[in-house]
């Protein structure tokens, strides 16, 4: 039995029973693929069920508004995925009359769908002969065949895609792709791969040469930016002053609190002297407390978030500011990092 046949046999005996594997509905498979980008199955599964229940088909998703989608997405991160999903659903409703396309050539035209996602949906919904290459597949191929080209380099991507295409079982590409991906997720893990029970370890280049920790190779290209966010909790009776974010930064179009961003983490007693804070609250600023600084990690940014409580009312309301009741905070799409900071204060 060859390499790919061994993986398929292993898959048929050991695969996880996941809901999107029991359907060929391109819409449902699309939901699962987008939700699981940059997300573990265990974390993404509740969100998948939530979205399928709320939006059982493209038409219902297309009729949603962005606030609803972002609220459902709360806590999953990479919020642009949720916004792009809404745009895609609306486009499919308009141009494909509510029937989600299942061919690679049509899927690749849709917003938020790249080569991997298009290949996955086409393969799993229509059994189209497209090799699916995700992080799990990169890892399996790099280790088994001993490929040291970086997986995130132009040359490396071409090499791995060509290798995946050559290995593809064109009679049953869906089963082949699922086996490759599941094998990487369950056995050939990034750390502590289960080489002892691997059905192909005796012919695996990385196992033979003790190189499982060295492969796959990935270029370090991410430069992390540090940001210091000082949020002001301002209340008026049982109402809280909120801010509707713009669409050009992190957490686009979501809701947070009035914010002053600084270049470093300043002592609390230095904040009232800042021009931005004076513009917001005037010269007579009464800070009543603060919440310990919370560090929040994004892919390219490291955020240091502080929540400052004040009894001072703002001098003027900015265009995107508005008061809302504490009870209504549950209905707003707040970034999880912000929700965590305020939930204990209001017993949410």
Q: Mind giving me the DSSP string for 155-217? A: HHHHHHHHHHHHH--TTSHHHHHHHHHHHHHHTS-SSS--GGG-TTGGG-HHHHTT-TTT-S-
- pLDDT tens for 185-217 read 999 999 999 999 999 999 999 999 999 999 999
Structural domains in the chain plus CATH codes: 225-346 (3.90.79.10)
What pLDDT shows up at residue 269? Answer: 85
How many angstroms separate the CA atoms of 211 and 141, rounded? 13
Mean pLDDT score of the chain, rounded to an integer? Answer: 91
What pLDDT shows up at residue 168? Answer: 94
Checking 196-202 for CB contacts under 8 A at 24+ apart, the result is 199/6, 199/7, 199/9, 199/10, 200/3, 200/6, 200/7, 200/144
| 263 is known as an active-site residue | no
Average pLDDT over residues 111-127: 93
What sign does the CA torsion over 348, 302, 253, 109 have? negative
Residue in 6, 33, 94, 226 annotated catalytic: 33
What pLDDT shows up at residue 291? Answer: 78
The model's pTM is 0.81
What pLDDT shows up at residue 346? Answer: 83
Are the C-beta atoms of residues 70 and 335 closer than 8 Å to each other?
A: no
């Amino acid at each position: 039995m060859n390499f790919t046949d061994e993986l398929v046999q292993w898959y048929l005996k050991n695969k996880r029973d996941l809901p999107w594997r029991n359907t060929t509905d391109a819409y449902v498979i699309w939901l699962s693929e987008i939700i699981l980008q940059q997300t573990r199955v265990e974390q993404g599964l509740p969100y998948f069920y939530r979205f399928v229940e709320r939006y059982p088909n493209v038409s219902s998703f297309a009729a949603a508004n962005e606030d609803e989608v972002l609220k459902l997405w709360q806590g999953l991160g990479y919020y642009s995925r949720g916004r792009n999903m809404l745009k895609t659903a609306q486009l499919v409703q308009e141009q494909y009359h509510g029937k989600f396309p299942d061919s690679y050539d049509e899927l690749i035209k849709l917003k938020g769908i790249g080569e991997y996602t298009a290949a996955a949906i086409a393969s799993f919904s229509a059994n189209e002969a497209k090799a699916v290459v995700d992080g799990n597949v990169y890892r399996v191929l790099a280790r088994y065949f001993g490929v040291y080209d970086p997986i995130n380099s132009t040359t490396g991507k071409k090499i791995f895609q060509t290798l995946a295409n050559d290995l593809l079982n064109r009679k049953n590409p869906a089963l082949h792709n699922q086996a490759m991906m599941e094998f990487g997720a369950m056995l050939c893990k990034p750390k502590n791969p289960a080489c002892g029970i691997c059905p192909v370890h005796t012919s695996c280049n990385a196992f033979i040469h003790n190189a499982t920790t060295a492969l796959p190779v990935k270029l370090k290209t991410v430069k992390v930016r540090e940001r210091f966010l000082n949020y002001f909790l301002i209340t008026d009776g049982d109402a809280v002053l909120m801010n509707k974010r713009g669409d050009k930064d992190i957490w686009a179009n979501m809701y947070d609190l009035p914010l002053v961003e600084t270049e470093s983490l300043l002592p609390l007693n230095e904040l009232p002297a800042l021009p931005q804070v004076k513009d917001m609250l005037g010269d007579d600023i009464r800070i009543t407390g603060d919440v310990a600084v919370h560090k929040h990690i994004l892919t390219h940014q490291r955020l240091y978030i502080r929540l400052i409580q004040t009894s001072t009312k703002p001098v003027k309301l900015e265009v995107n500011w508005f008061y809302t009741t504490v009870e209504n905070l549950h209905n707003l799409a707040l970034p999880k990092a912000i929700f965590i900071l305020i939930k204990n204060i209001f017993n949410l």
